[in-house]
């Protein structure tokens, strides 16, 4: 590249700057964001055709580097405020009662790049989503055997990966309250879709917390630490907050907000991904989920007119629910949209709910289509 093309490129020139700037911007996408987008890939929306997302199509989030892991030598420590500490090998974990759960996992930052201004991080549009069959063993019996102290309040899950974020060097760690991890569906998972975890998904063992946004499901798990005071690590206390501005103490991000997505119909243009559909009956399909309560309604709007879609049988308490809608497509430009409602009465907003970190951005998806 010559110097002049660099100056007019639609992305800013890489500067080799040592730390990130996360101030929300309406500026062009930066090389930093481009790099994050390649490392943290999304699920192509057409993968919603199947109940279970193939491993290679499931979205990924890796804050730093994928650790090199030796499954034979791996140990998960059970430590802190417990009566009996333990050090579990992969075989120890595999020997325990086995449980397979279909779980829809979504990154809390999904939708972030649609905000104005946009928080600078992984620039997700709508694709930070996937549903896998996770196999593992319930966590609570392990803690019960370790004799959790009466003064215990939280459990911190530590990952093997290390890096710097917010100017702070750290290993990835997140906590949950004791009540939250008593749920039997909170598992230590060692298989995804019937195969050992792949390196990028947390090999050899990770936590899976159905219903919560993905940051909770700590990968490359090395330690389960019972604490007697709330954990204040970076990924808990500084990141994953709904904040209105940088100094806002905010509210912690927890469970997945209700959301529906559709498989964009017809065929796409290569560059813009604008859709082309033939006139006549078109069966729109998609998926909907909520980490709070079951999805009870999905609606589709054609040019702003909302009608109910047909719901398929739920695929499990923690998996997305299929839906379809028969659209009689007439020639011309159209805008399609979809939105879900859950049994807790939550419904998706029409416009993006802005917040400083770009968390839980679950407004309705809009797809423009040309019918020919
Ligand atoms: N140790 C560790 N665990 C982690 C992460 C990470 O970077 N390190 N990313 C979290 C985030 S933000 C998400 S959304 C999910 C993504 O899981 P996946 O890559 O298997 O889809 O993993 C979570 N667990
Ligand atoms: Mo995430």
The pLDDT value recorded for residue 13 is 43
The pLDDT value recorded for residue 253 is 98
For ligand 1, atom 23, the nearest C-alpha belongs to 215
Residues less than 5 Å from ion ligand 2, measured at CB: 61, 107, 214-215
Q: Which two tokens stand for residue 179?
A: 């009540």
Alpha-helical regions (H) of the chain: 3-8, 31-39, 90-94, 140-145, 178-181
CATH 3.90.420.10 corresponds to the domain 25-239: yes
Alpha-carbon gap, residue 236 to 18, rounded angstroms: 23
Identify the DSSP state of 155: E
Which residues in the chain land under pLDDT 50?
1-14
Which ligand neighbours the alpha carbon of 219 most closely? 1
The pLDDT value recorded for residue 86 is 98
H or E stretch including 88?
A: strand 86-89
Q: Which atom of ligand 1 is nearest to the CA of 200?
A: 19
- Which CATH topology does 259-371 take? Immunoglobulin-like (2.60.40)
Pocket test for ligand 1, best of 63, 122, 192, 216 (most atoms within 8 A of CB): 63
Is 280 in a helix, a strand, or coil? Answer: strand
The pLDDT value recorded for residue 14 is 47
Is the CB of 161 inside a 6 Å radius of any atom of ligand 1? yes
The pLDDT value recorded for residue 47 is 98
Reading phi first (left if > 0) and then psi (alpha if -120 to 50, else beta), residue 344 is in alpha
Which ligand neighbours the alpha carbon of 66 most closely? 1
Is the CB of 107 inside a 6 Å radius of any atom of ligand 1? yes
**Residue 322, class by beta-carbon neighbours within 10 Å (0-12 exposed, 13-18 middle, 19+ buried)?**
buried
Is the CB of 112 inside a 6 Å radius of any atom of ligand 1? no
> What residues does CATH 2.60.40.650 cover in the chain?
259-371
The rounded Å distance from CA 372 to ligand 2 centre is 39
The pLDDT value recorded for residue 22 is 73
Is the CB of 371 inside a 6 Å radius of any atom of ligand 1? no
The pLDDT value recorded for residue 16 is 54
The rounded Å distance from CA 9 to ligand 1 centre is 32
Question: 310-311 and 241-242 as β-strands: parallel, antiparallel, unpaired?
Answer: unpaired
Is the CB of 142 inside a 6 Å radius of any atom of ligand 1? no
Alpha-carbon gap, residue 77 to 349, rounded angstroms: 42
CA angle 345/351/357 to nearest 5° reads 95
Which ligand neighbours the alpha carbon of 207 most closely? 1
Alpha-carbon gap, residue 237 to 255, rounded angstroms: 16
The pLDDT value recorded for residue 369 is 98
For ligand 1, atom 15, the nearest C-alpha belongs to 214
Is the CB of 60 inside a 6 Å radius of any atom of ligand 1? yes
The pLDDT value recorded for residue 17 is 56
Pocket test for ligand 1, best of 187, 196, 214 (most atoms within 8 A of CB): 214
Alpha-carbon gap, residue 240 to 121, rounded angstroms: 12
44-62: pLDDT as tens digits: 999 999 999 999 999 999 9
CB 69 within 8 A of CB 198: no
Q: Which atom of ligand 1 is nearest to the CA of 171?
A: 1
For ligand 1, atom 2, the nearest C-alpha belongs to 219
Phi, then psi, of 93 in degrees rounded to 5? -70, -40
193-215: pLDDT as tens digits: 999 999 999 999 999 999 999 99
> What residues does CATH 3.90.420.10 cover in the chain?
25-239
């Amino acid at each position: 590249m010559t110097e002049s093309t660099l100056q007019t490129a639609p992305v800013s020139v890489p500067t080799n700057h040592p730390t990130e700037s996360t101030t929300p911007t309406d500026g062009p996408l930066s090389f930093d964001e481009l790099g994050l987008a390649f490392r943290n890939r999304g699920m192509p929306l057409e993968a919603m055709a199947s109940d279970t997302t193939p491993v290679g199509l499931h979205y990924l989030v890796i804050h730093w580097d994928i650790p090199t892991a030796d499954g034979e030598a791996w140990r998960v420590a059970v430590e802190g405020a417990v009566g009996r500490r333990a050090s579990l090998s992969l075989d120890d974990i595999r020997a325990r009662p086995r449980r397979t759960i279909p779980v829809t996992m979504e990154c809390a930052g999904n939708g972030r790049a649609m905000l104005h201004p946009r928080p600078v991080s992984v620039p997700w549009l709508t694709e930070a989503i996937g549903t896998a069959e996770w196999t593992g063993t319930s966590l609570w019996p392990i803690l019960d055997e370790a004799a959790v102290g009466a003064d215990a309040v939280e459990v911190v899950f530590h990952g093997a990966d290390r890096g710097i974020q917010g100017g702070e060097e750290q290993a990835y760690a997140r906590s949950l309250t004791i009540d939250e991890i008593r749920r039997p569906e909170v598992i230590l998972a060692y298989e995804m879709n019937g195969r050992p975890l792949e390196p990028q998904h947390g090999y050899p063992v990770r936590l899976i917390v159905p219903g919560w946004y993905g940051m909770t499901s700590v990968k490359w798990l090395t330690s389960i630490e019972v604490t007697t005071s709330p954990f204040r690590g970076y990924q808990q206390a500084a990141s994953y907050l709904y904040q209105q501005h940088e100094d806002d103490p905010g509210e912690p991000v927890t469970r997945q907000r209700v959301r529906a997505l559709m498989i964009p119909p017809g065929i796409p243009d290569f560059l813009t991904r604008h859709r082309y559909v033939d006139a006549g009956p078109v069966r729109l399909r998609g998926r909907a989920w909520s980490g709070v309560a079951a999805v009870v309604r999905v609606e589709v709007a054609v040019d702003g007119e909302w009608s109910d879609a047909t719901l398929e049988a739920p695929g499990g308490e923690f998996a997305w629910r299929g839906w379809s809608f028969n659209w009689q497509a007439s020639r011309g430009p159209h805008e399609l949209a979809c939105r879900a409602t859950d049994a807790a009465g939550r419904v998706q907003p029409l416009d993006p709910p802005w917040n400083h970190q770009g968390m839980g951005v679950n407004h309705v998806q809009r797809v423009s289509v040309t019918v020919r």
